[in-house]
Amino acid sequence: MTATKGLEGVVATQSSISSIIDDQLTYVGYKIDDLAENSSFEEVVYLLWNLKLPTQSELEAFKKDLADHMEVPDAVIEHLRSYDLSTVHPMAALRTAVSLLGLYDEEADVMDEEANRRKAIRLQAQISSVVAAFARIRKGLDPVKPKQGVSYAENFLYMLNGKDPEAIEVEAINKALVLHADHELNASTFTARVCVATLSDVYSGITAAIGALKGPLHGGANERVMKMLTEIGEEENAIPYIKEKLANKEKIMGMGHRVYRNGDPRAKHLEKMSKELTKLTGQEKWYNMSVKIEEYIKENKGLPANVDFYSASVYHSLGIDHDLFTPIFAMSRVSGWLAHILEQYSNNRLIRPRAEWVGPNTQEYVAIENR
Ligand SMILES: CC(=O)SCCNC(=O)CCNC(=O)[C@H](O)C(C)(C)COP(=O)(O)OP(=O)(O)OC[C@H]1O[C@@H](n2cnc3c(N)ncnc32)[C@H](O)[C@@H]1OP(=O)(O)O
Ligand SMILES: O=C([O-])CC(=O)C(=O)O
């Protein structure tokens, strides 16, 4: 038995949800470019969970179902208030709050498909309310209740800022949510599948997945991209900063990808949005700096920008706190996790690979007094 480090190239499951073939990403066979240009996030969630695009009436019913389930139990909000708000990272708060939501869901351990789909709706609906509520509570503000009759993206911004967002802001968040929704067998999705393949419940699977997404090699990279841009400060410092990082063998956040070799097809949509939004808000330097870094890394390391790279300057120009970038990723990716969880349950087998033994050969036990 020989191990493949990081399971690179290992095909661990069959799936009909999303695919990456020759650097092209599709959701259920639909090109990400078409979905990014034309779809609402709700349409994409419906697609991932039903493996077909909704009709107008199906979409309306689905949107209403989501909107009807956005309110979070008071006990969960009270719990958020009890954290040490000066130090708790919103991803840790979200991971804990999702686990807690399971305690208040009477169907948490009911394992039939219909119950799991109802839980999927509740989780998808409530996760944006939790992110927005935590963001407000830590600023000393009260959470804002969701609105009826608006999109998921608009509702999130409304709950976050307590006022109606501009159309361009809603468009940006909607597109970001569409682009982040699913991505084949990435680390957090794999985590969710491994968890529920033991026939554990949906809340456990999503809690585990949030933990995996939090890391800087995965979803946590978007926050670090903005940290890097902030440290760089001005355009002319970008290349010297990057050269120094590379000389110290440090990784450049938002660059590189395990699967894409010639580029992440999601990055160009975020790049375009970053250009537009930073111009609109008079913050072009973040975009210009990002372009310089991307070009330098491509030329010198042959590495492409990934989805996390330009999402940083997009969210920053919307005035969003940097540590909320990864929770926003989670708000979108929960749709993919839930799709994969439903798929795993529908054709389950315990996921249990093997390890290549590289420890010492069999050893003679020595009594403790003789060691
Ligand atoms: C939504 C997402 O999860 S997208 C990914 C988000 N993560 C990041 O942006 C973090 C930065 N990027 C990385 O760490 C990596 O590119 C990963 C983890 C995304 C994928 O990497 P892997 O396929 O595992 O490649 P690995 O980390 O083994 O690196 C291979 C080589 O490329 C280099 N490399 C890879 N990414 C980077 C980077 N961002 N900056 C500098 N060098 C890099 C490594 O140093 C290594 O070089 P070496 O062979 O000389 O030691
Ligand atoms: O697929 C991966 O390894 C990481 C990624 O881009 C994602 O999860 O969106």
pLDDT in tens, 244-267: 999 999 999 999 999 998 999 999
Residue 264 known to be catalytic: no
Q: What's the CATH number for 15-214+323-346? A: 1.10.580.10
Measured in angstroms, how far is the CA atom of residue 127 from the centroid of ligand 2? 20
| pLDDT-derived band at 301, boundaries 50, 70, 90 | very high
Measured in angstroms, how far is the CA atom of residue 217 from the centroid of ligand 2? 10
pLDDT per residue as tens digits for the range 28-46:
999 999 999 999 999 999 9
Residues framing ligand 1 (Cβ under 6 A): 6, 217-219, 221, 251-258, 301, 303, 306-308
Asked if 120 contacts 336 with a C-beta cutoff of 8 angstroms, the reply is no
The CATH H-level superfamily of 221-317 is Cytochrome P450-Terp, domain 2 (1.10.230.10)
Q: Is the pLDDT of residue 229 over 90?
A: yes
Measured CA to CA, the distance from residue 101 to residue 95 in angstroms comes to: 10
Measured in angstroms, how far is the CA atom of residue 218 from the centroid of ligand 2? 7
Nearest to 335 by CA among 47, 100, 23, 109: 47
Residue-level pLDDT at 235: 96
Q: Is the pLDDT of residue 4 over 90?
A: yes
Residue-level pLDDT at 15: 98
Measured CA to CA, the distance from residue 140 to residue 125 in angstroms comes to: 24
Residue-level pLDDT at 296: 98
Q: Is the pLDDT of residue 136 over 90?
A: yes
What ranges do the domains of the chain cover?
Answer: 15-214+323-346, 221-317
Asked if 190 contacts 53 with a C-beta cutoff of 8 angstroms, the reply is no
Residue-level pLDDT at 84: 82
Measured in angstroms, how far is the CA atom of residue 100 from the centroid of ligand 2? 26
Tokens of 50: 């039903």
Any idea what DSSP says for residue 31?
E
Residue-level pLDDT at 85: 82
Residue-level pLDDT at 261: 86
- Bridge partners, residue 25, by sequence: 20
| pLDDT-derived band at 54, boundaries 50, 70, 90 | very high
Q: Choose, from 69, 89, 257, 322, the residue flagged as catalytic.
A: 257
pTM for the full predicted model: 0.98
Residue-level pLDDT at 305: 97
Q: Rounded mean pLDDT of 271-279?
A: 98
CA dist 15 to 29, 121, 182, 344, Å?
11, 21, 12, 9
Q: Rounded mean pLDDT of 226-252?
A: 98
Measured CA to CA, the distance from residue 70 to residue 324 in angstroms comes to: 19
Measured in angstroms, how far is the CA atom of residue 245 from the centroid of ligand 1? 13
Q: Is the pLDDT of residue 92 over 90?
A: yes
Q: Rounded mean pLDDT of 94-113?
A: 97
Residue of 222, 251, 258, 261 best suited for mutating to test ligand 1, as the one with most atoms within 8 Å of CB: 251
Q: Is the pLDDT of residue 86 over 90?
A: no
Measured CA to CA, the distance from residue 335 to residue 50 in angstroms comes to: 12
Nearest to 180 by CA among 39, 343, 14: 39
Residues framing ligand 2 (Cβ under 6 A): 183, 186, 258-259, 306-307
Classify residue 114 as exposed, middle or buried by CB count within 10 Å of its CB (0-12, 13-18, 19+).
Answer: exposed
Ligand 2 atom closest to residue 258's alpha carbon, by position in its atom list: 3
Residue 257 known to be catalytic: yes
Measured CA to CA, the distance from residue 297 to residue 359 in angstroms comes to: 38
Nearest CA to ligand 2 atom 3: 186
| pLDDT-derived band at 1, boundaries 50, 70, 90 | confident
Continuous segment of H or E residues that includes residue 114:
helix 113-137
pLDDT per residue as tens digits for the range 65-83:
999 999 999 999 999 999 8
Q: Choose, from 201, 308, 316, 340, the residue flagged as catalytic.
A: 308
Residue-level pLDDT at 83: 85
Q: Is the pLDDT of residue 328 over 90?
A: yes
- What does pLDDT average to over the chain? 97
CA dist 148 to 42, 114, 154, 179, Å?
14, 25, 11, 24
Residue 333 neighbours by CB distance under 10 Å: 27
